[in-house]
Amino acid sequence: MEPQRQEYKGHSIELRASEGREEEEVRARGGREELRATEGREEELELLIDNQPVRYGQLPDGRYALEEYAYDWQENLTDLARRFIDYREKAEQIRREDESGGRE
């Protein structure tokens, strides 16, 4: 799968096929271990926001949830990443207002 990239409010969102370090280590060993380690994992995607990996899980109904943002579930990982960016921006805005003595 080709990586999917897009920009949203100055942040980069990227979805790409997951190729973790564990798979690379197993590949280096070769043989049957390689087949067992990669079997059934072709569909796994890695989500990156601003080049930082974001951990997520999939609910039984197929929707996705982020570990750091379990308040919202979406069928589309990119949509969920956008909502997470919005959430982080709003949280940061509230922190800044709190530090400056509240809302005016």
CATH number of the domain enclosing 28: 3.30.1880.10
Q: In one letter, which amino acid is 101?
A: G
Question: Whole-structure pTM over 0.85, yes or no?
Answer: no
Residue 101 has a pLDDT of 79
- Please check whether residue 87 lies inside any domain of the structure: yes
The pLDDT > 90 percentage for the chain reads 60
For residue 42, is it within any domain? yes
pLDDT digits (tens, 9 = 90+) for 16-63: 998 654 454 444 444 444 333 333 333 589 999 999 999 999 999 999
Tell me if 104 is assigned to some domain: no
Q: Which domain holds residue 39?
A: 4-99
Domain count, the chain: 1
